[in-house]
Each structure stands twice: as C-alpha cells, then as structure tokens.
Homo-oligomer: A and B are copies of this chain.
Amino acid sequence: MGRWEPDAQGRLARAAMELYIERGFDSTSVAEIAKRAGLTERTFFRHFADKREVLFGGSAGLQDLMVEAVRGAPKSAAPMAAVAAGLLATGPLFQDRREYARQRHAVIAANAELRERELIKLASLASALADALRGRGVNDPAASLSAEAGIAVFRVAFDRWIDISNKRDLTQLIRESLDELKAVTAAG
C-alpha cells in the first residue's frame, strides 16, 4: 500500500460530480469536494486547473478521435465528407454513456460558467478539425467553415441524442443533421 489512497484524481472527479449533481455547481466549494475525496483543496488544484475543468477531462480524447478520423478519410473525400467521417467516428465513444452524458449535460446546462467552458472546448475542437483539413490540403476559409459547420452539426445532433424523448442513436442523428445542413444551405 502506498503512502496515500490511490487514484486521487479519480476520487476528486467523482466527489465533484456527486456534489455538482446533489447541490449544483455554484453551491459546492472546492473545499467540500476535497474533503469528500479525503484530500486538501490545494491538491484539487494540482489535478484540475479550475473547478470547471473536472467536467471536461474527456474532451481531449474526443478531439483526438475526430482528428484521427479526419486524417484517415479517403484522400479523394471532399472537405465536408472528411469532417463527416470525424463526427461519425465519435459514435462508439458515447454508445453506452447516454445516461452519464445526460447527467453531465444537465449540470452544464444549469450554469453559465460551465456553458462558457463547454463552448471553448467545442471551439478548440473546431480549430483542431480545421487544422486537420488544412493538413489534407484544404485552404481557408473552406477549412474553417467546414470545421465550424461540422461542430454545429455535432452540437445539434448531440442535443437531439440527449433529448429524453429520442431513442435513435447518435450516429444516425449526426447523419440526419448533416443532411439537414446540406438542404438548408442549398436553399439559401
């Protein structure tokens, strides 16, 4: 046995999530999170840059996944098709996590600061996607626009997937939203 209980970061993340759900994000202090995890406030800030970051640890993985899929798309694929490949690659990642996604989504939706953080993560995603497209030889502004449009599609599809009345799977919803975007821009 080590000097401390193992997985400090995991314990902090779980304690934080519990408290955010129990009493809301604003009403839980870092001191409380640390206490529940059996650690100190200072240690919390060694594992997470700030109180919000607890909820966004997974976003780097999502980004890598999308970027790899864009990179791996057929050379002949049009920019938007490559983006579509990126979006669709994330389906499996969320496959069995709909309930968790919904809880997390509820916590974030209830708080303006968290919504801000989520938006910047998505912006970072869009930026990474645009970079990946440029790596495929796509020029700006086509690269930026395709990436931004792709993220918009992802958001819309994800929100629909989260929606309680909706039982279709994420992949399908992404496809539908892509088609909708195509229809809408063609008609404008």
Contact = CB atoms under 8 A, between A and B. Distances in A.
Contacts of A153: 145
Contact of A152 (B148, B156, B186): B148
A125 interface: no
A112 B49 CA distance: 13
Interface string A58-82: 0000000000000000000011110
A188 B70 CA distance: 13
A172 B153 CA distance: 26
Task: Identify which of A84, A123, A145, A156 gathers the most chain B CB atoms within 10 Å of its CB.
Answer: A145
Interface stretch (A9-17, A96-104, A177-185): A177-185
Contacts of A184: 79-80, 142, 145-146, 149
Interface stretch (A18-26, A27-35, A36-44, A113-121): A113-121
Interface residues of A, number: 36
Interface string A135-164: 000000110111011001101100010000
A81 B188 CA distance: 5
Ordered nearest first, which 8 A-B pairs have the shortest CB separation?
A80-B188, A148-B152, A119-B119, A116-B116, A78-B187, A185-B185, A116-B120, A81-B188
Interface of A: 78-81, 83-84, 112, 115-117, 119-120, 123, 141-142, 144-146, 148-149, 152-153, 155-156, 160, 177-178, 180-188
